[in-house]
Every structure is written in C-alpha cells, then in structure tokens.
Amino acid sequence: MSKITAAITAVGGYVPENRLTNFDLEKIIETSDEWIKTRTGISERRILKEAGTATSDLGVPAVLDLLAKKNLDPKEIDCIICATVTPDMFFPSTANIISDRIGATNAFGYDLSAACSGFLFALTTGASYIESGRYKKVIVMGADKMSSILDYTERNNCIIFGDGAAAVLLEPSLDGYGVQDSILKSDGAGKNYLHIKAGGSLRPATIETVLAKEHYIFQEGKTVFKYAVSGMADVSAELLERNQLTGDDINWLVPHQANLRIIDATAKRMGLPIEKVMINISRYGNTTAATIPLCLWDWQDQLKKGDNLVLAAFGGGFTWGATLVKWGY
Ligand code: COA
C-alpha cells in the first residue's frame, strides 16, 4: 500500500480592512516611515479595531474562504488546529470557538502556542493525523490579533506587528504530495528576550500589572534579531541538506515575515534568488502565526502542482523550524 502523505488542498485567508500605515504611526509615536521601512521592510499593517472583536473574528472568515473554495461542508472537517498567541480567551480554545461559529460540529480542535513558529508546528501536527490514516480533513490555521497585546505608546514593538489569519486544508495523498519533512526546534532560554510578563499563572492580572503595562509584548529586539537570523537560516539549510536538495530544487521559500533583513539572510543561505521568495511584510507586518499561510494565500494562483516549497519560521520561545512541502494542486 502507498504511503499516505498530507497534501495542502486549499488555502483561505483574511485580513481586516483597516490599514495602519507608517505615516499614521508617525502621528502617535516618535518614528518615521523611512526608519520603519529601512529597519523592517514594513509600510503598513491591518488592524482589527472594532470593539468586541477577537482572533476568532479573523479566523472565521479565513476558514469560510477556504470552505467556499472547496465547496466543503463544515461537517466533513475532522479537526481544526489554531496556532495563536492571542486566543479569544485562555479557554475554551479559539479553535473550538471557530468550529462552533462555522458549524464544524464533527471536528475536534485545540489551540497551539508556538508564537511565530506556531503555523509550522501545527502543520506538522496536523500532517501526522493525516499520515496516520485516521483522519481525512484537517484544517491548520494561524490567527493572531497582535494589536490586542501591543502598547501603541512604545515604538519598539507596535511598528512591527499586525492582525490576520489564514488556514490550509490537509487531505491524504497517495501520490506523495504535501508535507515531506520538517525540522522543529525550541529553546526555552529564549523566554527572557520575548514574552508577556503578566496574565499567566506566574503573575496573574492585578491593578499593578496593568499599570506597569505588563500585559503587552516585551521584546529585546536586537537579541531576537540575532537569534532569528541564524536560527531561520540554519534550519532551512539543514532541511535542504537532509533531503539532498539545493536552492535550485526549490521553487519557493515561504518565510515567516518578521523582518526583511531576516528573510534576505535566509534566502542567501539557501542560495535562492529573491524572486523565489514570498514577501508580503510591507503590507501586513508581522502577523505572528498567520504570516506563512497568508503568504500561501497571496501566492496561491502562482503555485503549480509539484512545486517544492520550504516554509521557515523563527519566533518567541524561542521556537523555530522549517518544513518541506510538495504543492498538491
Ligand atoms: N522609530 C525610530 N527609532 C526607533 C524605533 C522606531 N520605531 N525603535 C527604535 N528606535 C531607535 C532606538 O531607540 C535606537 O536609538 P539609539 O541608537 O539612539 O538608542 C535606534 O533606533 C536603533 O534601535 P535598535 O533597537 O538597535 O534597532 P534595530 O536595528 O535592532 O531594529 C527591530 C529594531 C525591532 C526592528 C529589530 O531589532 C528587529 O526586527 N528585531 C527582531 C524582531 C522580531 O522579528 N521579532 C518577532 C519575533 S520573530
């Protein structure tokens, strides 16, 4: 019997209408369009600004887009894994909230927390369900409302992140399409450089934690940058080597969109020209778990059956990894 692989058979995505440009940020913090563009490659990000909205409000339209493309009944979905660091609530999971709202009544689901590497970790997990032969339709998504954890009076972080969500459908392939190999890594020592100090069991919310702005992202940008450049490039090169591939064999690099300079370094290390790299950071900023599937969503019309893709990420934790995918449609 042929080996079952997990093919990506559809992509759906959603970004809010509202744009926050570098020029808008110039009006609220001490920064400039020039500084942001040169240091990060970002021109604008999308913000879900309506009161009472949450990450599921990004995730639901992304999954509905995917279902419409496949003309798929939500009751056919076996499982939804939602990678996010901005869940609607601690529990129940955002995946469950999304399942309920789209009518995926036969699906089990849960959230996966691996920051900017969340989509890759979730993709590998979802692919294993398909490869096991037990499940036939698994949705893997990345969704983050980063604006909910940003301090818009502090210029280091609020310029970087944006809101968005995107999802892929995994189905069994007997022809070898889909996820081929994955290298995933974590190092908890990285927690000191990128975290949210309060709100968890270590420092539950108090008036003091709120006043000290401890519920917002804390980041030592320079240190994270240093680890991200080497982490993402090294793991991508290791993945190529392990599969006896070179940059010539790869049609697309799909990198996490954290900083244009980190993306450039990874492409160079893999021997890939920039034309083979999906880059949309200028329009969305860093949407954390959503960056990689949002790239697939933006580029889906240019992808061809059999294309070799390397998906690569680095993020809080630290977490990082790379996944080799043979495009299935
Ligand atoms: N506008 C203008 N100036 C700014 C600024 C802003 N938004 N933010 C910082 N600066 C200033 C700093 O205060 C500093 O001034 P100084 O030299 O007078 O002290 C100067 O610009 C350089 O700051 P620095 O933090 O060294 O800049 P950088 O080149 O490291 O760029 C980041 C900052 C955050 C863009 C960069 O470190 C980065 O991208 N890090 C990785 C972030 C990331 O990807 N995180 C997500 C996890 S994947």
Report the chain (329 residues): mean pLDDT per 10 consecutive residues. Answer: 92 98 97 97 97 98 98 98 98 98 98 98 98 98 98 96 98 98 97 97 98 97 94 95 96 97 92 96 98 98 98 97 98
pLDDT value of position 319: 98
Whether CATH 3.40.47.10 fits 5-176: yes
pLDDT value of position 97: 98
Compute the distance from residue 159 Cα to the ligand 1 centre, in Å. 10
pLDDT value of position 1: 61
CA distance 153 to 149: 12
Active site (annotated) includes residue 158: no
Active site (annotated) includes residue 286: yes
For strands 108-112 and 79-83, give the pairing.
Answer: parallel
One-letter identity of residue 279? I
CA distance 81 to 76: 15
**Nearest atom within ligand 1 for CA of residue 116:** 48
Question: For ligand 1, which residues put their CB under 6 angstroms from it?
Answer: 31, 35, 39-40, 116, 155-156, 159, 219, 221-222, 224-225, 228, 258-259, 286, 314-315
Which member of 116, 157, 259, 280 is catalytic?
116
Across-strand partners of 286?
Answer: 161
Q: Where are the domains of the chain?
A: 5-176, 180-326
pLDDT value of position 2: 82
Among residues 161, 17, 139, the alpha carbon closest in space to that of 82 is found at 139
Q: Do domains 5-176 and 180-326 have the same CATH topology?
A: yes
CA distance 122 to 145: 18
CATH of 180-326, one of 3.40.47.10, 3.90.550.10, 3.30.70.890, 3.40.50.620: 3.40.47.10
Which member of 22, 157, 158, 256 is catalytic?
256
